[in-house]
Structure 1
């Protein structure tokens, strides 16, 4: 085939170190916008960025030239730096790992809506329950001793 055609969408989730509720509502929207800008500058389509005080969700459209692990490493490093410099929260940090789940094009809109409604969703459900459900639905093997 003379051309490459891709439809690569990922729902990525990662939390603050020790799931500390450090992402304040006062600056959360600016932070999410900054994270989206980091993705865009890396050549990725930030379809949705959202979250609550202790974690973020990203729906990303990736080109073939971007490695997901490199992208997430850069987003975490640069967004932490932003919090340190712009917010003055020197102890802010992300948990080391992340979850990434493929999303079919037909489900992108529902995942984007899910991300946009994180505040409402987490009034009744915690991050750990949410994340375990993602792992189970995706059929990802895990050892709970190493999740938290």
Structure 2
């Protein structure tokens, strides 16, 4: 019987609107579990999730039938509602428009998973802006700074 066989791994980077540091450490694990549920309910495989108060990284094993933009839109919409309903933040929580999406081979997964798991340590040495621009440059993604996330200076 004919079938579809694929190996698609995407790291997604989403920032809090205005890059405000609104994701608190005491509830981030609940948020990550909630997002994991969204990904699984969409029949995709979450391989790693972690982040900082102002952004998150998600590594997803995707099926070719999945539309990445639809999945990310659902993650952002549902998680924003979840944060509001749980009253996790006393401030209005919103995700920044847009996101970064970077593809990886199967052989790179251990490194990417480790990188995502070590976000707190990594960001002691590099800002999110530096990290994000480095990813864009590494993947040779043409960009203009004015079209990147809104940065709070």
Q: TM > 0.5 between the two? A: yes
Alignment of 1:95-134 (within 5 A): 95-134=96-135
Could you report, residue by residue, the CA deviation over 1:43-100 in whole angstroms, capped at 9, with x for unpaired residues? 1100001101000000001112210000000000000011001135350000000000
Structure 2 residues without counterparts, runs of 5 or longer = none
Could you report, residue by residue, the CA deviation over 1:4-48 in whole angstroms, capped at 9, with x for unpaired residues? 110000010010000000000010111111111110111110000
> Hey, what's the Cα distance between the residues in 2 that align with 1:57 and 1:5?
26
SS in structure 2 opposite 1:22? coil
Change (3 A) 1:106 1:54: same
Structure 1 residues without counterparts, runs of 5 or longer = none
Q: Please name the residue that 2:46 is paired with.
A: 46
List structure 1 segments (4+ residues) > 2 angstroms apart after TM superposition: 87-90
SS in structure 2 opposite 1:14? strand
How many aligned positions are there? 148
Q: TM-score, normalised by structure 2?
A: 0.93
> Hey, what's the Cα distance between the residues in 2 that align with 1:135 and 1:6?
25
Instruction: Name which of structure 1's ranges 131-140 and 81-90 shifts more when overlaid on structure 2.
Output: 81-90
What's the RMSD between the two structures over aligned residues?
A: 1.2
> Hey, what's the Cα distance between the residues in 1 that align with 2:9 and 2:62?
6
SS in structure 2 opposite 1:27? helix
Could you report, residue by residue, the CA deviation over 1:119-146 in whole angstroms, capped at 9, with x for unpaired residues? 1111121100000000000010001112
Q: Please name the residue that 1:61 is paired with.
A: 61
